[in-house]
Amino acid sequence: MKWRKLTLNTTTEAVDYISAMLLDMGITGIEVEDKVPITEEEKQQMFIDILPELAPDDGSARMSFYISEDDDVQEMIAKVNEGLDDYAELVDLGSRTIELSETEDTDWINNWKAFFKPFRVDDTIVIKPTWEELPKEWEQDLVVELDPGTAFGTGAHETTKLCIQGIKKYIKPGMKVLDVGCGSGILSIIASMLGAESVGATDIDKNAVKAALENVEVNHIKAVLAEGDFTLTPGTVTLAAGNVIDSEEFRRQVGIGVYDMVVANILADIIIPLSAVVGEHMKKGGIFISSGIIQSKRAEVEAALQTNGFTMIEVCEMGDWVSIVATK
């Protein structure tokens, strides 16, 4: 299948803002090219002996993403430009020019794997791509094997790291955990490894649910694909495709008043409406960990949580991103 590749010329300063905007539009396959030097720490994490030669960093960046050949290119460009207008006063967007080209599936779905190497999330958790060997010095850590496929979530982004830190801090053995917008399943896997009795995982994307199920099984955790019956079983991750925001029926299937902890690494514009319904799934005093919130949206998310009866416990920051831990 042929895909249309759109490349936006912008600045490194604007990359996180534009990434959030594109993710909000449903675009998850984003490539970023810049001239920012690789740090010594990044070099060690990527196991590179020789650093690539780069031109001097001029602050420019190129962001590429893909749409199918059936999609309306001009409509997509118009949506991107409309979104960019919202950020124009917040950050330098550069030239904002957009280039169009075509590519095949194999050019982008698999080629990125060459750059996805084992890396450390913190001092005890390591993410290992399923096709890579693990360095011996990391074998005693909590190792999560992962093949994201086309689903969002490798653990490398600040939003996922913030969520993982929150899970690690607040989880207790025997908890029931719900992962809303599970993507690759990384948070479900880590919650299970850290002592959750059972985990429920949902995503609106059936392909993401399929990728998550495969990743759960790769990590020697039992996985069940629920179709109507969302029964939680100890030691198991139960997965289902559906929308907890829009479907009351799906919320009932997932479970009302069942979960000690809910995690959602999505986006601010989804967390805001989610905050109105996610409390239905939680036990009294349950923990809600939300991430994927860019700094400019923090106040809106906090206001939505408070309006919907949540009490803030902790706000954590990493780069331009925020994670909020709340209880209801």
DSSP string, 36-48: PPPPHHHHHHHT-
pLDDT of residue 41: 56
**Residue 43 above 70 pLDDT?**
no
Confidence of residue 89 (pLDDT cuts 50, 70, 90): confident
Tell whether 277 is covered by a domain.
yes
Parallel/antiparallel/unpaired status of strands 119-120 and 125-129: antiparallel
Tell whether 222 is covered by a domain.
yes
The first and second tokens of residue 290, run together, are 């939300």
CB-based burial label for 244 (10 Å; 0-12, 13-18, 19+): buried
Give ∠ CA 49-320-42 in degrees, rounded to 5. Answer: 5
**How does the average pLDDT of the chain come out, rounded?**
85
Average pLDDT over residues 207-224: 90
In terms of domains, do 73 and 187 share one?
no
The first and second tokens of residue 112, run together, are 């990125």
Tell whether 142 is covered by a domain.
no
In terms of domains, do 199 and 305 share one?
yes
Q: Phi/psi at 298 (nearest 5 deg)?
A: -55, -50
pLDDT of residue 158: 82
Tell whether 132 is covered by a domain.
no
**Residue 197 above 60 pLDDT?**
yes
**Residue 114 above 70 pLDDT?**
no
- Of residues 45 and 111, more confidence is placed in 111
pLDDT of residue 176: 98
The first and second tokens of residue 58, run together, are 């001029």
Instruction: Mark which of 80, 96, 113 sits at the end of a domain.
Output: 113
| Dihedral of the alpha carbons of 183, 186, 192, 194, in degrees to the nearest 10 | -140
In terms of domains, do 10 and 101 share one?
yes
C-alpha gyration radius of the chain: 20
Which alpha helices (H) appear in the chain, and where do they start and end? 15-24, 40-46, 73-87, 105-108, 158-170, 186-193, 206-218, 248-254, 268-274, 298-307
Using DSSP's 3-state secondary structure scheme, residue 188 falls into helix
Using DSSP's 3-state secondary structure scheme, residue 249 falls into helix
Instruction: Mark which of 113, 145, 162 sits at the end of a domain.
Output: 113
Portion of the chain with pLDDT greater than 70, in percent:
84
Task: For residue 96, give the CATH number of its domain.
Answer: 3.30.70.120
Tell whether 133 is covered by a domain.
no
Q: How far apart are CA 153 and CA 108, in angstroms?
A: 17
Confidence of residue 45 (pLDDT cuts 50, 70, 90): very low
Confidence of residue 151 (pLDDT cuts 50, 70, 90): very low
pLDDT of residue 57: 81
DSSP secondary structure code for residue 23 in this structure: H
Highest mean pLDDT among 77-81, 134-138, 225-229: 77-81
pLDDT in tens, 227-276: 878 889 999 999 999 999 999 999 999 999 999 999 999 889 899 999 99
Report whether 174 contacts 259 (CB < 8 A). Answer: no
Tell whether 119 is covered by a domain.
no
In terms of domains, do 191 and 323 share one?
yes
In terms of domains, do 174 and 263 share one?
yes
Range of the domain at 163: 154-327
- Of residues 280 and 160, more confidence is placed in 280
In terms of domains, do 18 and 158 share one?
no
Q: Phi/psi at 129 (nearest 5 deg)?
A: -55, 145
Tell whether 134 is covered by a domain.
no
Confidence of residue 205 (pLDDT cuts 50, 70, 90): confident
In terms of domains, do 212 and 279 share one?
yes
In terms of domains, do 236 and 103 share one?
no
Confidence of residue 39 (pLDDT cuts 50, 70, 90): low
**Residue 104 above 80 pLDDT?**
no
Q: How far apart are CA 168 and CA 190, in angstroms?
A: 8
Confidence of residue 106 (pLDDT cuts 50, 70, 90): low
In terms of domains, do 320 and 198 share one?
yes
Number of helices and strands (H, E) in the chain?
A: 10, 15
The first and second tokens of residue 144, run together, are 């999560």
In terms of domains, do 79 and 164 share one?
no
Q: How far apart are CA 328 and CA 311, in angstroms?
A: 6
In terms of domains, do 306 and 165 share one?
yes
In terms of domains, do 240 and 296 share one?
yes
Task: For residue 234, give the CATH number of its domain.
Answer: 3.40.50.150
Long-range contacts of 213-217 (CB under 8 A, 24+ apart): 213/185, 213/237, 213/239, 214/147, 214/149, 215/145, 215/146, 215/147, 215/148, 215/184, 215/185, 215/186, 215/189, 216/185, 216/188, 216/189, 216/192
Report whether 99 contacts 19 (CB < 8 A). Answer: no
Tell whether 228 is covered by a domain.
yes
The number of domains in the chain is 2
Instruction: Mark which of 113, 130, 145 sits at the end of a domain.
Output: 113
Angle between helical axes of 15-24 and 73-87 (0-180°, round to 10): 130
Confidence of residue 96 (pLDDT cuts 50, 70, 90): very high
